[in-house]
Homo-oligomer: A and B are copies of this chain.
Amino acid sequence: MSAVRLGIVGCGIAMRELHYPALSELRDLFSVVGVTSRTRESAETCAALFGTESYAYDELLRRVEAVDIAVPTHLNRGLIEKALDAGVHVICEKPIAESAETGEKIVEIAERAEPVLYIAENYRHYTAYAKARELLKEIGEPEFVLYSRFQNMEKDAKYAGTGWRKEPKHIGGFLSDGGVHDVAAMRMVVGDVKRVKAFASIVRGYLGSYDTMAASLLFENGIIGNYSVSYGLYGEDLFMVSGTEGRMRIDKKAVRIEKNGGENEIRIGEEDTYKRELIDFYEVLKGKKNSLGSPEEALKDLMVIEEAVKSSECA
């Protein structure tokens, strides 16, 4: 199978630090033939990084079979639509959009389009979550989820300094930018979310929007749980599912099952999920069917965060 002629769209942190290293190892699958970015400086940096030329977006679209988009979230829709209209496949960084409303439009556009739209949610590519789902019956009936993410962003943290993140047009700021990962992980393991209620707050003014949230979740299957998240406070990450016969702790590298007084650990180890999602995108382009990059799934992740943020703002 021949390498896909790929165009790079955007040259921010995600592209430089997450996609570029993965693409460097996947030259058999993707041949980067051009880049585009909003500023000349960024376009030149990016072209130099990938060892290729920079083009205006329209021109880039004429030269490629697929684009890899990693731009400020509120720009996704316009760029996705243009690519699909031009017959170009798209892999685009999560979150799918700045709001569920726009996300729904993107899903509609993708459904009508011939080319593939693949949303890059790297959490959906961790083996640990798939493994946890597979082993869930080991803890009897799953009943409760505890999920905590505390990722304190100092004022000089790289993501905190990004202009579009400091004045976010995407709902809830970091709560959706980072939060879709958490929802994706929970949905993979325990299923879809039916309802969510939350309180959101601002701990660090410099993050531009909400940075902290306490949310209660009701899943479609009747499981309930609490999701605690902060980008302004220190704490520990936890993903635990408690069932009638035991408990499961899940992280990106392992699944631990405790029951009957014993513990069983299934180690997965380190995984490059940016590489995995690009490989999966390639295989989907070659005809493989799967839902890991499905825009509908990405929209479901975003809708949970949007409902949470809105519930916090309502009386």
Complex CA gap A218/B216 in Å reads 12
Contact yes or no, B197 A216, CB < 8 A: yes
Q: Which residues of B contact A233 (CB under 8 A)?
A: 143-144, 242-244, 247
With a cutoff of 8 Å between Cβ atoms, the chain B residues found around residue A143 in the complex are 201, 203, 212, 230, 232-233
Mask for A205-228, Cβ within 8 A of B = 1, else 0? 000000011111110001111111
A201 touches B224 (CB 8 A): yes
Residues in chain B near residue A148, CB distance under 8 A: 146
Nearest B residue to A228, CB-CB: B226
User: Which residues of chain A (144-193) have a CB below 8 Å from chain B?
Assistant: 144, 146, 148, 150
Taken together, the copies of this chain in the complex come to: 2
Which residue of the partner chain B has the closest CB to A213? B224
Question: Quick check: is A27 within 8 A (CB to CB) of the other chain?
Answer: no
Within 8 A of B (CB), among A228-248: 228, 230, 232-235, 240, 242-244, 246-247
B199 adjacent to A218 (CB under 8 Å): yes
A209 to chain B, nearest CB (A): 15
Residues of B within 8 A of A144 (CB): 203, 212, 214, 228, 230, 233, 235
Q: What total of chain A residues lie within 8 Å of the partner, measured CB to CB?
A: 41
User: Across the interface, do B235 and A240 meet the contact criterion of CB distance under 8 Å?
Assistant: yes
Chain B residues with CB below 8 A from A228, complex form: 144, 146, 225-226
A197, closest chain B residue (CB): B197
What are the residues of chain B within 8 A of A223 when measuring CB–CB? 201
| Measured CA separation A60–B146 after assembly (Å) | 49
Name the B residues within 8 Å of A213 (CB-CB).
224
| Minimum C-beta distance from A77 to chain B (A) | 31
Q: A143-B201, A233-B243 are in contact. Are A216 and B226 (CB under 8 A)?
A: yes
Query: A128 at interface (Cβ–Cβ under 8 A)?
Result: no
Q: Contact at A235–B247, with CB atoms within 8 Å? A: yes
A303 in the interface (beta carbon within 8 A): no
Q: When the two chains form their complex, are residues B199 and A311 in contact, meaning their CB atoms are under 8 A apart?
A: no
Determine if A71 is an interface residue (Cβ-Cβ < 8 Å): no
Report Cα–Cα, A235/B228, bound state, in Å.
17
Q: How far does the alpha carbon of A226 sit from the alpha carbon of B147 in the complex, in Å?
A: 10
Pick from B217, B225, B234: contact of A242, CB under 8 Å: B234
Is A198 in the interface zone, CB < 8 Å from B?
yes
6 example contacts (A-B, Cβ-Cβ < 8 A) are as follows A146-B235, A197-B197, A197-B198, A199-B218, A204-B244, A214-B216
Residues of A near any B CB (own CB < 8 A): 141, 143-144, 146, 148, 150, 195, 197-201, 203-204, 212-218, 222-228, 230, 232-235, 240, 242-244, 246-247, 258, 311
Known: A141-B203, A203-B244. 4 other contacts (CB 8 A): A144-B235, A201-B224, A213-B224, A214-B226
